[in-house]
């Protein structure tokens, strides 16, 4: 596997966008407050991340694979918490 200097851009973007979810996940796990979490948005987002992960695997783009694998776990964590602790009426 050859490393190209422009991969640093991909890895940097992957790291920053993935890490940006950690505070939301941490807060949601700690407080179980999901009142501000949109079920529709997180459902669509999680499916989108899964598709990006599949695409990254097909393309053998390791920045995409790594970032989307971690982001999928984080997004699924919030989505599961939203489904478990959310009210029936909020969207």
Q: Tell me: the pLDDT tens digits for 36-50?
A: 889 999 999 999 999
Q: Which helix (H) or strand (E) holds 55?
A: helix 39-59
Q: Tell me: the pLDDT tens digits for 22-77?
A: 998 999 999 999 988 899 999 999 999 999 999 999 999 888 899 999 999 999 99
Task: Calculate the alpha carbon distances from 5 to 11, 20, 23, 34 in Å.
Answer: 10, 24, 30, 40
What sign for the dihedral angle of Cα 58, 61, 66, 68? negative
Domain ranges of the chain: 32-91
Kindly tell me if the per-residue pLDDT of 88 is higher than 60. no
Class of domain 32-91: mainly alpha
Q: What is the pLDDT of residue 1?
A: 59
* DSSP symbol at 20: T
The SS3 call for residue 32 is coil
């Amino acid at each position: 596997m050859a490393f190209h200097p422009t991969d640093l851009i991909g890895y940097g973007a992957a790291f920053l966008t993935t890490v940006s979810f950690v505070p939301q996940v941490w807060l949601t796990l700690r407080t179980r407050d999901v009142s501000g979490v949109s079920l529709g948005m997180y459902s669509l987002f999680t499916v989108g991340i899964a598709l990006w992960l599949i695409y990254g695997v097909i393309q053998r783009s390791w920045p995409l694979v790594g970032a989307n694998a971690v982001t999928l776990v984080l997004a699924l964590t919030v989505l599961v918490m939203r489904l478990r602790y959310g009210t029936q009426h909020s969207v």
